[in-house]
Amino acid sequence: MRIRLALLALALLSAPLAAEAQVRAQGKELTDKKPEPAPVLATPKAPANFRQILREMTIEMANAARKVNPRFIVLLRDGVALLAKDKWESDLDDLLDPKGLTADSRPPVGTFQRPLARAIDGVIEDGLFCGRPQFDQPSPEAERNERLAIARQVQEMGKRLVTLDACQEPRLVAQAYAQAERAGALAYVDSGSAARLAGVPIDRPVFENPNHVTVLKEARNFIALLDTKRYPAKKDALLALAATNYDLLIVPVQMGPNQEPIEVVRIKGKERDDLAALRLKRLGTTRKLLATLPMTMAEIGRYYWKPEWRGGDPAWLVAEEQGNPDRFVVAYWDPGWKEILAKYLVDIMAAGFDGMVLDEMGAWRHFEAINPLD
Query: What is the number of other CB atoms lying within 10 angstroms of the CB of residue 222?
Result: 24
Q: How many residues does the chain have?
A: 374
Beta strand residue intervals within the chain, DSSP E: 73-77, 122-126, 160-166, 186-190, 222-224, 248-251, 254-255, 260-261, 264-267, 270-273, 288-294, 297-299, 317-321, 324-330, 355-359
Report d(CA 260, CA 285) in Å as an integer: 27
Query: In angstroms, rounded to a whole number, what is the distance separating the alpha carbons of residues 64 and 15?
Result: 10
User: Does 181 score more than 50 pLDDT?
Assistant: yes
Encode pLDDT of 255-283 as tens digits.
999 999 998 886 766 677 999 999 999 99
DSSP state of 90: H
pLDDT of residue 28: 32
Query: Quick check: 26 pLDDT over 90?
Result: no
Per-residue model confidence (pLDDT) at position 4:
65
Contact 125/151 with Cβ under 8 angstroms?
yes
Residue 5 has pLDDT above 80, yes or no: no
Mean pLDDT of the chain: 88
Q: How far is CA 260 from the centre of its chain?
A: 20
On the CB side of 121, CA atoms within 13 Å amount to 23
Which domains can be identified in the chain, with CATH numbers? 73-308+336-369 (3.20.20)
3-state secondary structure (DSSP) of residue 348? helix
Task: Report how far apart the first and last C-alpha atoms of the chain are (Å, whole number).
Answer: 50
Residue-level pLDDT at 47:
81
User: Residues 6 or more apart from 374 whose CB is under 8 A from it?
Assistant: 91
Average confidence (pLDDT) over 166-193: 95
How confident is residue 44, by pLDDT bands cut at 50, 70 and 90?
Answer: very low
User: What's the pLDDT tens digit per position in 47-103?
Assistant: 899 999 999 999 999 999 999 999 999 999 999 999 999 999 999 999 999 999 999
CA–CA gap between residue 366 and residue 246 (Å, rounded): 35
What SS3 state is found at 362?
Answer: coil
Whole-number pLDDT of residue 21: 34
Distance CA 180, CA 192 (A): 19
Phi, psi of 267 (to 5 degrees): -130, 115
In this prediction, residue 13 has a pLDDT band, given cuts at 50, 70 and 90, of low
Cα distance between residue 126 and residue 25, in whole Å: 30
**Close Cβ partners of 279 (under 8 Å, ≥ 6 residues apart):** 286, 287, 289
Mean pLDDT of 137-148: 96
Q: Could you tell me which residues are beta bridge partners of residue 271?
A: 266
Residue 136 banded pLDDT, cuts 50, 70, 90: very high
pLDDT at residue 33, as a whole number: 37
- The answer to whether 267 and 229 have CB atoms below 8 angstroms apart is no
pLDDT, residue 271, reads 73
DSSP string, 34-80: S--PPPPPPPPSS---HHHHHHHHHHHHHHHHHHH-TT-EEEEET-G
